[in-house]
Chains A and B, each alone.
Chain A
Amino acid sequence: ETGVTQSPTHLIKTRGQQVTLRCSSQSGHNTVSWYQQALGQGPQFIFQYYREEENGRGNFPPRFSGLQFPNYSSELNVNALELDDSALYLCASSNAAYGYTFGSGTRLTVV
């Protein structure tokens, strides 16, 4: 059973640019959630996808968007990057039980 894989592991972008982060969910998991973890803080819920549909969203602006594909992998897209978007972005997958499996995250730095 493979775990949750995120790519890339590190990324540096310039303010105003766009970025796409990718997540391959654990085999058999049909739900994917994305979290943003700023330095010294706990992860904050961005949104969740269940069977390719957005199933809830946290307090993030529309420039944060996502997709889930038929194989349940997912993308997080962020447009018009701001310096405050610098954070660790975590993807977590599950298949209808508590105890999500988290990936190791993508460290995004906006300069």
Chain B
Amino acid sequence: DQQVKQNSPSLSVQEGRISILNCDYTNSMFDYFLWYKKYPAEGPTFLISISSIKDKNEDGRFTVFLNKSAKHLSLHIVPSQPGDSAVYFCAASADSGGTSYGKLTFGQGTILTVHP
């Protein structure tokens, strides 16, 4: 069963505009959420995270929103830049403090293309 879903396989955005990437989850035990960015031939790179006690976390151009009642999170990139073109994965963890926090459940990924 796919506990973390990214229903949009791809997203195309014009440079300077907002990119919104969405992620849905089904497991109520998830309490920490992360977004990773992946370029070809590289490993995933951590972008931003959010704890379930928050509904928003911001870091520069990146903002993650969490709607616990809807089991939905989104990543906003403003303004989008061509260098942001990559695969974006959302991931979730059910352990916010122990050594098992490394058990991340990933979505399938969304390919973001930012056109100049």
A sample of 10 cross-chain residue pairs with beta-carbon separation below 8 angstroms, ordered by A number, consists of A41-B108, A42-B89, A42-B108, A42-B109, A43-B106, A58-B103, A98-B93, A102-B36, A104-B43, A105-B43
Interface size class of B (residues with CB under 8 A): 20 to 34
For B93, the closest partner residue in chain A by CB is A98
Would you call A45 and B41 a contact (CB within 8 A)? Answer: no
- Which chain B residues have a beta carbon within 8 Å of chain A's beta carbons? 4, 6, 32, 34, 36, 41-46, 49, 89, 91, 93, 99-109
Chain B residues, CB < 8 A from A56 = 100, 102-103
A40 contacts chain B at the CB level, 8 A cutoff: yes
- Which chain A residues have a beta carbon within 8 Å of chain B's beta carbons? 4, 31, 33, 35, 40-45, 48, 50, 55-56, 58, 90, 92, 94, 96, 98-105
Chain A residues, CB < 8 A from B45 = 102
Would you call A92 and B106 a contact (CB within 8 A)? Answer: no
- From known contacts A50-B99, A92-B102, A104-B41, infer whether A42 and B46 are also in contact, taking CB-CB under 8 Å: no
Q: When chains A and B are docked, how far (Å) is the Cα of A33 from the Cα of B46?
A: 15
Q: When chains A and B are docked, how far (Å) is the Cα of A101 from the Cα of B6?
A: 22
